[in-house]
Amino acid sequence: MKDNISIYNKYGFAAKEATLIGGNPLESWEIAVKDFDSESSKTKPCPKNTFLGLCEAGLVKGIKPGSYFISKKENLNKKYAIKAVELLVLDSNLSKNQLWKKVREELGIGEKEHNSQMDVVLALWNEGLIVK
């Protein structure tokens, strides 16, 4: 675990909090973001779907794998998150930008900014909350 918690943002902290709350990940996420300053921050889909995707895949400690998305179509944020975890297993020293670059390369994604997905993955990884 890294000691530098400044490498992820409020969504990373929300993911950590939601994991520690436990139970249903969707409900836990909503509790973790309830004090965010705006409704758009509370409902921002990319970090939430990243967290739910990791939970669905059984990669978050203490949360049972299951079906947590309303839609059954493939979720890209879940795909990004799982690939990020795979890359961190190989090199746990990747920065947020390095990790996103490698995810994009591995998945054939063009020039695209990450939208807090890597903050969620790195927060859980650095806090020891990812099942390896």
Residue 132 lies in a domain: no
Which residue segment(s) compose the domain that 12 sits in?
Answer: 5-126
Distance between start and end Cα atoms, the chain: 13
State the pLDDT at residue 101.
97
Read off φ and ψ for residue 65, nearest 5 degrees: -60, 150
CA pair distance 132, 128, nearest whole angstrom: 9
Share of the chain above pLDDT 70, in %: 94
Residue 131 lies in a domain: no
If one counts the domains in the chain, the total is 1
What is the signed CA dihedral for 54, 59, 60, 62, rounded to 10 degrees? 130
On the question of pLDDT at 84 being above 90, the answer is yes
State the pLDDT at residue 6.
52
Residue 49 lies in a domain: yes
Q: What is the pLDDT of residues 5-62, one digit of tens each?
A: 455 689 999 999 999 999 999 999 999 999 999 999 999 999 999 999 999 999 999 9
Across residues 68-96, what is the average pLDDT?
94
Tell if the pTM clears 0.75, that is, is over it.
Answer: yes
Residue 71 lies in a domain: yes
